[in-house]
Amino acid sequence: MKLRDTDLPLNSSPTTTNRSSAAIAEFRKLHETDGILFLGNAWDAASAIALEQAGFSAIGTTSYGIARASGMRDGEEVPFARQVSIVRDMAERVNIPVSADIEAGYASAHAEIVDNALRVADAGAAGLNIEDSPKDWNGLRDTAEHARLLNSIRSALDARGFDGFFLNARTDTYLMPGTSEPLEETLLRLRAYADSGANGIFVPGLSADADITAVVSASPIPLNVMSLPGLTSVARLQELGVKRFSFGNALADLTLDFLRKSADALHAGRDTGFLYETLPN
């Protein structure tokens, strides 16, 4: 069905909608190749542009990086409107797909979380991450409840016309201290999440080869893992069957730490000479 201007979400146009559709299709394709998607994590338009220029084929926002760059703590302290604005800025300034990290959804009620998912889709995102560890209690959301939430998000996205939008279900089984059998819990949750319309499963903290292999073997949807000390080789993860690899807030931390150390050096040295030194290629 051809969209009319009046059918478009607020702040959208036929041009932006066409661009979003193309980005959604491209992002899905990047998960369907024989290789691995090495996702660049950005926290503002400048970092997204730098990653695109370096050759990354897709961008994911890092909520931790955005929070730190905003002078706030991670954990849904950054106003959601700011998160949406950053997603929109990135999507408008790069020519590669952008996926949004919306943490646990920025709300408790399912209807509000669904609305927030639609807001980032309207802003130009090609996908999103949503985790099963709500910020208002210390634990994981009930598996069946989170599966219902994922199904509601999927249905709402499809109804709005965002067919193929990549819904990456993050489970914090390896990060939550109270999870006694993280592998078994992960396998249970990934099946439920996949059945509810998730397109990918994201398991930060998953690092042992045997556990990665077990998840890959059991999962009907692509596995996303996150870089950790000792878990850094894209080639090795591809051998294990991982389909998406991201580095979270690591680059943001490195960049912002460099900024702070440079500011310290300027203030202590009372000399600006190093600002004009050529950085190594």
pLDDT at res. 281: 64
Q: Give the residue carrying structure tokens 């991982």.
A: 242
C-alpha distance from residue 78 to each of 72, 84, 134, 170, 229 (Å): 7, 11, 15, 20, 27
- The Cα 185–Cα 190 span in angstroms is 9
Amino acid at 166: F
User: Structural domains in the chain?
Assistant: 9-249 (3.20.20.60)
Judge residue 72's burial from the number of C-beta atoms within 10 Å of its C-beta, 0-12 exposed, 13-18 middle, 19 or more buried: middle
Handedness of CA 151, 156, 161, 165 (dihedral sign): negative
Q: Could you tell me which residues come within 8 angstroms of residue 202 by beta carbon, excluding any fewer than 6 positions away?
A: 129, 131, 168, 169, 170, 171, 223, 224, 225, 226, 244
pLDDT values of the chain reduced to their tens digit, one per residue, 281 residues: 333 333 334 444 444 577 789 999 999 999 999 999 999 999 999 999 999 999 999 999 999 999 999 999 999 999 999 999 999 999 999 999 999 999 999 999 999 999 999 999 999 999 999 999 998 888 999 999 999 999 999 999 999 999 999 999 999 999 998 889 999 999 999 999 999 999 999 999 999 999 999 999 999 999 999 999 999 999 999 999 999 999 999 999 999 999 999 999 999 999 999 999 876 66
pLDDT at res. 280: 67
pLDDT at res. 135: 87
pLDDT at res. 11: 47
Handedness of CA 74, 174, 218, 224 (dihedral sign): positive
Tell how far CA 152 is from the center of its chain: 19
Q: Could you tell me which residues come within 8 angstroms of residue 267 by beta carbon, excluding any fewer than 6 positions away?
A: none
Amino acid at 124: G
φ, ψ for residue 248, nearest 5 deg:
55, -130
231, β-bridge pairs: 228
Amino acid at 257: D
